[in-house]
């Protein structure tokens, strides 16, 4: 997309292009970097109002217990104690937090009962954090313990129900059928059925949650600075809990957030508690920074934890006829917002394959574990893993090469755009070509003398018990989620059948630009950011669109009160939604500048004025006005033309292809970025250790607005994919005690585990988006784990080995090898 | 950095409470300035630098010695300030990320290389990586990939997948070799 002025009013042949070259599509250096590199960036942990005081939380040590008595007197008697808040205090004056399913009630501090280790029970406030933690030690809580519910499969039949009032440990689930599933399974030559499991894995950003809340006694309102994700969407979780209208609770997120990956949408509990404490202290600012142990054991930030059963119907020639998946997702103690994480796989249910008959069946289960939040990929990685492992099994059963089986079933380029059985539509892409290309690249570079897969080397390593291999797989990354479908599980039974297309309400992306007196451009995003470089993206787009230099553009953020409700940084929306909004706003501003000049300066018709190179020109007279002159002209006017706002509608609102999915509230993701992967692995059959030697990945996310940032997202996503595949997991013991409460147990990939990544690219623009870009913030985490698992299968092919569990830790590899040896 | 003496963590509120937490005096150099402070023995160096000295570029990601976000140089050695108590560095010379850029505001070649190679996303790990790189290149001016991987193995980045960080370190090494930048202890 060049920085052209596309207005039809320009006379034919009139060059209104900016003279400067375009910044979009280049790797413009990030505008965020300098402040970070010098240490000046202000993250939420750095906010320190003069008179701020500090909160700490007493948390449950039991997974499942009734609270018999809470004694805070010793803490209150301590000279450092400024405030104490208990669940009872909250019950008296505030509301429970909104849950992901209607019938649940969750308080910010436990009331009557605790349901997981790490659940906050009492909040205390002291002059500093050290003192606050001293107070926590003085809080004494008596419990009567109950049998913990730990195993998700058993929980479904367990007599112990962790929410008595709900009456079941399985509060949500649905079976959905698309096509003629039973017929397909009856008619197919073969049916296989297997079980796979996906461990409790999550984002674990390097920065933990933080909040500084201040109650305003004059206005009876709250200012809440915090690093919540989606602050304009999920602000209801804070204001509703406080029992105030939205305009009284202002959430503001600093321009720098130390990573989120979806997880920080669920930090509202901390926001509420700090706000309540500040209200108790007559408006003294209260600060809370979660420590790492709190974050890992009770920080409301675990994610998908699933047991799958997959059935695949296929013919002897390798054609897949039907897919039938069932899974149980261990949601922990409360169903939080991301209950729809269980539904997102519907948007990519058949991956890149052309399959017509699909059954999708799931159950959400409550256990005595920390609740789930969103994590990069939003439930898709586990589905793709289960599906592709079954495809590997099918190839083994047929005695075929898995890549041939995959090729035989891919959606062909002439089928694009391609509607999958669940109503979502893949926009564009040549999947067979991508898979072919990555295979050729690896064969040329590595299956040769000196290559990692040099047959002689592979053979020699084997003598040593080290098995090398590679698998070629292809994966869709659904991007740019719609918002309307996300409350499907809270929609009344029957309401879905009656829905019409006009009942669908999508949230737009909001954006503002204000011309400053010096001619510089001030822009405002309505979304928060956590390292994706949104300021850079917007700066690039505006520099092109307005014909100014990147240094003339300043990008700020709107708080939750000023901004309208909108979706924000979720589901890889931003490259598409933000660029659409930025372009729309810039176009409005260019138009307004011309109108302003017509009305206030040139006295000529609008059609006679063009916008060019950061100013407007009268074509008749040749007169010109620069941006700072326009700003000045505008400054006296009541209705300001140089301050514009724009709401960019979700792409599907104009696309009838999506009507069916939208109306039925099935997940709608109008862009299909994709990756063809080939990680080369070496499995040590003695130790069970897996080393990834090099990770080849061919990625296509349509038009790349900033290739540097896109590649950065791919590297980072793949690193999380490597972690998930091999080492990350929140395990619990049989008593419900969390086993990963420090970074010594929840292992993140370090320089020691990260392979070299060889990125290849193709660019298939999306026909559905303004710039041709596709959403691509989640890719490597979606397709990394399954690709690695498949390569492990390839390496151990002679053992007839298919991995059945993520993460594949050395212990599990050894165990699986033993099982396979014994012929299962 | 001002040179007044700092009272430790009990500062702002201590007057209104009858606290008698024990304190000790420490004197150290922080980015070349002498700092004298009364601190509680339990005060972590990371908190001391952030809260008392105003060096908030020192980041805290885990407080148990795994992530390396809090890495600073103590007498030239990369040190996890979350695992160090302020009283332990009495008499030492501490450098934080704020002490790297030139007085003219120019980025240090390591900082500049991180920027050029897009070696940061959210940036929360960056101070730690930059300081670990400083120590590495002081020790090993021309490191190969393996040495870089080894030298940065105590730091976690959750965003970048490390590839660009390696490139940044290599670029910085080359720049420093060219520029004849002052090395070692400042
Ligand atoms: S904060 Fe010091 S190592 Fe993580
Ligand atoms: S850039 Fe986010 S942790 Fe490294």
Q: Is residue A166 part of a domain?
A: no
Range of the domain at A56: 45-146+209-289
Same domain assignment for residues A593 and A706: no
Q: Please, are residues A225 and A254 in contact by the beta-carbon 8 Å criterion? A: yes
Q: Computed from CA positions of residues A707, A709, A711, A717, in that sequence, does the dihedral angle turn out positive or negative?
A: negative
Q: By percentage, how much of chain B surpasses pLDDT 90? A: 81
Q: Does B127 touch chain A (CB under 8 A)?
A: yes
Greater confidence, A817 or B11? Answer: A817
Strands A190-198 and A805-806: parallel
Virtual torsion, Cα A289, A95, A102, A497, nearest 10 deg: -110
The atom of ligand 1 lying closest to the CA of B81 is 2
Could you tell which of A259, A533, A719 is best to mutate to test the pocket of ligand 2, judged by most ligand atoms within 8 Å of the CB? Answer: A259
CA–CA gap between residue A813 and residue A800 (Å, rounded): 13
Give the number of C-alpha atoms closer than 13 A to the C-alpha of residue A317, restricted to the C-beta side.
4
Task: Kindly list the structural domains of chain B, giving each domain's residue range(s) and its CATH number in brackets, ordered by start.
Answer: 24-99 (3.10.20.30), 109-179 (1.10.150.120)
- Based on the domain organization, do A473 and A565 belong to the same domain? no
Q: Which residues form the pocket of ligand 1, taking CB atoms under 6 Å from any ligand atom?
A: B 60-63, 65-70, 80, 82
A342 in contact with B, Cβ within 8 Å: no
Q: What is the largest CA-CA distance in chain A?
A: 90
Rounded Cα–Cα distance for residues A480 and A529 (Å): 16
CA-closest candidate to residue A367, choices A305, A308, A310: A305
Residue A35 near residue A630, CB atoms below 8 Å? no
A438-449 burial, b if ≥16 CB within 10 A, otherwise e?
bbebbeeebbee
- Give me the CATH number covering residue A567: 3.30.365.10
For residue A697, give the nearest of A431, A434, A458, A389 by alpha carbon: A434
Nearest Cα to Cα of residue A670 among A688, A687, A655: A655
Residue among B14, B51, B156 whose CB faces A748 most closely:
B156
**A549 and A454 part of one domain:** no
- With a cut of 70, say whether residue B154 has pLDDT above it: yes
Give how far Cα A138 sits from Cα of A57, A69, A83, Å.
Answer: 11, 14, 13
What is the residue whose two structure tokens read 């069916």?
A660
Assigned token pair, A730: 């929140």
Which burial class, exposed, middle or buried, applies to A157 when counting CB atoms under 10 A from its CB (0-12, 13-18, 19+)?
Answer: exposed
pLDDT confidence tier of residue A7, bands split at 50, 70 and 90: very low
Decide: helix, strand or coil at residue A25: coil
Residues A475/A351, Cβ–Cβ less than 8 Å: yes
What gap in Å lies between CA A610 and CA A620, rounded to an integer? Answer: 11
Same domain, residue pair A722 and A630? no
Assigned token pair, A126: 């002291």
Per-residue model confidence (pLDDT) at position B42: 95
- How close does chain B come to A259, measured CA to CA in Å? 5
Q: Are residues A434 and A415 in the same domain?
A: yes
Q: Are A126 and A67 in contact (CB under 8 A)?
A: no
- Are the C-beta atoms of residues A723 and A375 closer than 8 Å to each other? no
Last residue in a domain, options A599, A628, A649: A649
CA distance A611 to A299: 51
Positive or negative, the Cα torsion across A809, A778, A226, A539? positive
Lowest mean pLDDT across A61-75, A276-290, A632-646, B77-91: A632-646
Tell me the mean pLDDT in the region A81-98. 97
Question: Three-class SS of residue A761?
Answer: strand
Q: Is residue A203 part of a domain?
A: no
Residues A431-457 have pLDDT tens digits of: 999 999 999 999 999 999 999 999 999
Q: pLDDT value at position A317?
A: 97
For chain B, where are the alpha helices, taking DSSP H only?
A: 11-14, 45-47, 109-116, 126-139, 145-151, 163-179
Residue range A557-609, pLDDT digits in tens: 888 888 766 555 555 566 788 888 999 999 999 999 999 999 999 988 999 99
| Window from A194-198, A447-451, A702-706, B120-124 with minimum mean pLDDT | A702-706
CA of A601 to nearest chain B CA: how many angstroms apart? 43
- Predicted confidence band of residue B7 (pLDDT cuts 50, 70, 90): very low
At A48 the three-state DSSP class reads coil
- Is a pLDDT exceeding 70 seen at residue A4? no
Strand partners, A172: A364
Residue A494 falls within a domain, yes or no?
no
Nearest by Cα to A603 from A628, A620, A627: A620
Q: What would the pLDDT profile of A141-198 be if each residue is shown by its tens digit?
A: 999 999 999 999 999 999 999 999 999 999 999 999 999 999 999 999 999 999 999 9
Q: Which residues contact A451 (CB under 8 A, 6 or more apart)?
A: A445, A457
- Ligand 1 atom with the smallest distance to the CA of B83 is 2
Residue A370 lies in a domain: yes
Residues A637 and A577 in one domain: yes
What tokens were used for A256? 């720098």
Provide DSSP, A107-158.
-SS--SEE-STT-EEEEEEESSHHHHHHHHHH-EEEEEE------HHHHTT-
Backbone angles phi, psi at A486, to 5 degrees: -65, -15
Query: How far does Cα B84 stand from its chain's mean position?
Result: 12
Q: Are residues A247 and A332 in the same domain?
A: no
User: A597, A769, A603, A567: which is closest to A672 by C-alpha?
Assistant: A769
Domain termination site, one of A583, A615, A649 = A649
Query: Which atom of ligand 2 is nearest the CA belonging to B69?
Result: 3
Q: What residue owns the CA closest to ligand 2's atom 4?
A: B157
pLDDT at A11: 34
Same domain, A398 and A531: no
- CATH number (domain holding residue A88): 3.90.1170.50
In A651-789, beta strands by DSSP E:
671-684, 690-700, 756-761
> Which of A531, A532, A709 most suits a substitution to test ligand 2, by most atoms within 8 Å of the C-beta?
A531
Distance, CA of B46 to CA of B40 (rounded, Å):
13
Phi and psi (nearest 5°) for A172? -150, 150
CA-to-CA distance for A427 and A764, rounded, in angstroms?
A: 10
pLDDT band at A27 (very low <50, low <70, confident <90, very high): low
Pairing of strands A210-216, A615-618: unpaired
The answer to whether residue A159 sits within a structural domain is no
Chain A hits for B107, CB-CB cut-off 8 Å, are 34, 37-38
Segment A184-241, tens digit of pLDDT? 999 999 999 999 999 999 999 999 999 999 999 999 999 999 999 988 888 999 999 9
Beta carbons of B160 and A715 less than 8 Å apart:
yes
Nearest CA in chain A to B69: A206
Say yes or no for a CB contact (<8 Å) between B121 and A750: no
Residues B176, B186: Cα–Cα separation, whole Å: 15
Structure tokens at B82: 């979350």
Number of compact structural domains in chain A: 3
Quote the pLDDT of residue A820: 79
Same structural domain for residues A518 and A599?
A: yes
Average pLDDT over residues B112-139: 97
Structure ipTM: 0.92
pLDDT-derived band at A615, boundaries 50, 70, 90: very high
Rg of chain A in Å (alpha carbons) = 28
The pLDDT assigned to B13 comes to 40
Q: How far apart are CA B81 and CA B59, in angstroms?
A: 9
Same domain, A475 and A326: yes
Question: In this structure, is residue A38 part of a structural domain?
Answer: no
Helix (H) or strand (E) holding A277: helix A268-280
Boundary-marking domain end, from A649, A672, A691? A649
Hey, which bits of A265-369 come out as E strands? 286-289, 306-314, 320-332, 357-366
The percent of residues above 70 in pLDDT, for chain A, comes to 95
Contact in structure between B169 and B116 (CB atoms under 8 Å): no
Contact A295, A400 (CB under 8 A): no
Closest ligand 1 atom to B80 CA: 2
Position A539 pLDDT exceeds 70: yes
Among B69, B131, B157, say which to mutate for ligand 1: greatest number of ligand atoms within 8 Å of CB. B69
The CA A374 to ligand 2 mean position distance, Å, reads 19
Instruction: Say if pTM beats, i.e. exceeds, 0.90.
Output: yes
* pLDDT-above-90 percentage for chain A: 81
* R_g of chain B computed on alpha carbons: 17
What's the pLDDT score for residue A569?
A: 55
A389 lies in the same domain as A442: yes
Do residues B34 and B3 lie in contact, with contact meaning Cβ atoms separated by under 8 Å?
A: yes
Residue tagged 């009456």 (tokens): A167
Beta carbons within 8 Å of A494's beta carbon, 6+ residues apart: none
CA A805/CA A196 separation, integer angstroms:
6
Question: Number of Cβ pairs closer than 8 Å across A and B?
Answer: 179
Find, in chain A, the residue whose alpha carbon is nearest to that of B113.
A37
- Here the tokens at position A466 are 């080290």
Residue A239: how many CA atoms within 13 Å on its side-chain side?
A: 20
Q: Do the strands A473-479 and A553-557 form a parallel or antiparallel pair, or are they unpaired? A: unpaired
Query: Cβ atoms within 10 A of the Cβ of A603, count?
Result: 11
Phi/psi zone of residue A636: left (φ > 0), alpha (ψ -120 to 50 degrees), beta? alpha
Q: Compute the mean pLDDT over every residue in chain A, rounded to the nearest whole number.
A: 92
Same domain, A640 and A679: no
Q: Do the Cβ atoms of A37 and B126 come within 8 Å?
A: yes
Placement of tokens 């630009």 in the chain: A513
CA–CA distance, B169 with A527 (Å, rounded to integer)? 33
What integer pLDDT is reported at residue A12 of this predicted model? 32
């Amino acid at each position: 997309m060049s920085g052209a002025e596309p207005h039809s009013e320009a006379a034919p042949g009139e060059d209104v292009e900016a003279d400067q070259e375009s910044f979009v599509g280049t790797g413009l250096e990030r505008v965020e970097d300098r402040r970070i590199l010098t240490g000046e960036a202000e993250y939420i942990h750095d906010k320190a109002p003069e008179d701020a005081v500090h909160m700490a939380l007493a948390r449950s040590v039991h997974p499942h217990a009734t609270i018999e008595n809470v004694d805070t007197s010793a803490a209150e008697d301590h000279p450092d104690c400024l405030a104490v808040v208990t669940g009872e205090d909250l019950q008296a004056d505030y509301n429970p937090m909104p849950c992901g399913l209607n019938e649940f009630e969750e308080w910010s501090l436990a009331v009557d009962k605790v349901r997981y280790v790490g659940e906050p029970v009492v909040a205390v406030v002291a002059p500093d954090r050290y003192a606050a933690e001293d107070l926590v030690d003085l809080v004494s809580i008596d419990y009567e313990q109950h049998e913990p519910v730990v195993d998700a499969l058993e929980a479904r039949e367990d007599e112990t129900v962790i929410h008595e009032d709900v009456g079941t440990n399985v509060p949500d689930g649905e079976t959905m059928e698309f096509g003629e599933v039973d017929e397909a399974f009856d008619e197919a030559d073969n049916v296989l059925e297997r079980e796979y499991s996906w461990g409790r894995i999550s984002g674990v950003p390097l920065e933990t949650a933080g909040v500084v809340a201040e109650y305003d006694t004059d206005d009876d309102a709250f200012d809440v600075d915090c690093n919540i994700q989606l602050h304009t969407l999920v602000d209801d979780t804070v204001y509703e809990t406080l029992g105030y209208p939205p305009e009284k609770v202002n959430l503001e997120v600093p321009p720098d957030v130390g990573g989120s990956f979806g997880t920080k949408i669920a930090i509202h509990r901390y926001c509420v508690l700090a706000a309540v404490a500040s209200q108790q202290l007559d408006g003294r600012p209260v600060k809370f920074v979660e420590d790492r142990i709190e974050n890992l054991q009770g920080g409301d930030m675990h994610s998908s934890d699933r047991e799958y059963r997959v059935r695949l119907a296929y013919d002897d020639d390798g054609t897949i006829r039907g897919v039938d998946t069932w899974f149980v997702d261990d949601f922990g103690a409360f169903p939080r917002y991301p209950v729809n994480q269980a539904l997102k796989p519907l948007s990519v249910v058949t991956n890149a394959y052309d399959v017509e008959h699909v059954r999708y069946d799931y159950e959400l289960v409550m256990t005595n574990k920390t609740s789930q939040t969103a994590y990069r990929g939003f439930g898709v990685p586990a589905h793709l893993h289960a599906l592709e492992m079954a495809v590997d099994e099918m190839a083994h059963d047929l005695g075929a090469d898995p890549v041939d089986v995959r090729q035989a079933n891919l959606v062909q380029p002439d089928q694009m755009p391609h509607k999958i059985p669940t109503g979502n539509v893949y926009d564009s892409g040549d999947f067979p070509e991508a898979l072919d290309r990555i295979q050729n690249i690896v064969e040329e570079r590595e299956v040769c003398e000196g290559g990692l897969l040099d047959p002689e080397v592979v053979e020699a390593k084997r003598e040593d018990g080290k098995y090398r291999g590679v698998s070629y797989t292809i994966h869709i990354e659904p991007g740019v989620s719609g918002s309307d479908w996300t409350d499907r599980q809270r929609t009344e039974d029957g309401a879905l059948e009656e829905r019409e297309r006009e009942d669908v309400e999508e949230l737009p992306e909001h954006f503002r630009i204000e011309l400053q007196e010096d001619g510089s451009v001030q822009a405002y995003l309505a979304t928060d950011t956590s390292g994706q470089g949104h300021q850079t993206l917007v700066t690039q787009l505006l520099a092109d669109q307005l014909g100014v230099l990147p240094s003339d553009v300043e990008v700020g953020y709107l708080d939750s009160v000023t901004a309208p409700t909108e979706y924000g940084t979720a589901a890889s929306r931003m490259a598409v939604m933000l660029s659409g909004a930025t372009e729309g706003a810039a176009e409005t501003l260019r138009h307004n500048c011309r109108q302003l000049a017509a009305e206030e300066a040139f006295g000529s018709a609008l059609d006679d004025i063009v916008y060019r190179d950061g100013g407007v020109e009268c074509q008749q007279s040749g007169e010109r006005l620069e941006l700072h002159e326009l700003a000045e002209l505008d400054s006296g006017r009541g209705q300001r033309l140089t301050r514009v706002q724009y709401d960019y509608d979700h792409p599907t609102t104009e696309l009838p292809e999506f009507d069916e999915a939208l109306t039925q509230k099935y997940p709608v993701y109008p862009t299909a970025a994709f990756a063809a992967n080939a990680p080369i692995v070496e499995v040590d059959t003695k130790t069970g250790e897996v080393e990834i030697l090099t990770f080849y990945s061919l990625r296509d996310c349509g038009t790349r607005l900033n290739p540097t940032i896109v590649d950065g997202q791919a590297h980072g996503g793949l690193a999380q994919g490597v972690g998930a595949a091999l080492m990350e997991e929140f395990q619990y013991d049989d008593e419900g005690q969390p086993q990963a409460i420090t970074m010594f147990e929840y292992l993140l990939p370090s320089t020691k585990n990260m392979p070299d990544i060889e990125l290849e690219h193709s660019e298939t623009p999306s026909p559905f988006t303004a710039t041709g870009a596709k959403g691509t913030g989640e890719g490597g985490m979606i397709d990394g784990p399954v690709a690695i698992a498949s390569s492990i299968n390839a390496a151990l092919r002679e053992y007839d080995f298919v991995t059945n569990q993520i993460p594949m830790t050395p212990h599990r590899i050894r165990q699986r090898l033993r099982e396979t040896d014994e012929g299962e | 950095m001002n040179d007044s003496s700092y009272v430790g963590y009990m500062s702002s509120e201590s007057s209104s409470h009858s606290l008698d937490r024990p304190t000790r005096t420490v004197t150290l150099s922080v980015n070349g300035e002498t700092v004298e402070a009364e601190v509680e023995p339990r005060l972590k160096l990371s908190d001391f630098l952030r809260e008392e000295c105003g060096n908030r570029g020192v980041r805290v990601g885990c407080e148990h010695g795994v992530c390396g976000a809090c890495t600073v140089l103590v007498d030239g050695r990369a040190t996890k300030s979350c695992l160090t108590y302020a009283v332990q560095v009495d008499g030492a010379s501490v450098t934080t990320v704020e002490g790297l850029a030139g007085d003219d505001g120019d980025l240090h070649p390591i900082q500049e290389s991180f920027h050029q190679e897009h070696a940061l996303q959210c940036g929360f790990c960056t101070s730690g990586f930059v300081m670990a790189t400083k120590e590495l290149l002081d020790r090993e001016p021309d490191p190969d990939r393996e040495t870089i991987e080894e030298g940065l193995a105590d730091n976690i980045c959750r965003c970048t997948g490390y590839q660009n960080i390696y490139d940044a370190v290599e670029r910085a090494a080359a720049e420093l070799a060219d520029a004849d930048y002052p090395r070692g202890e400042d």
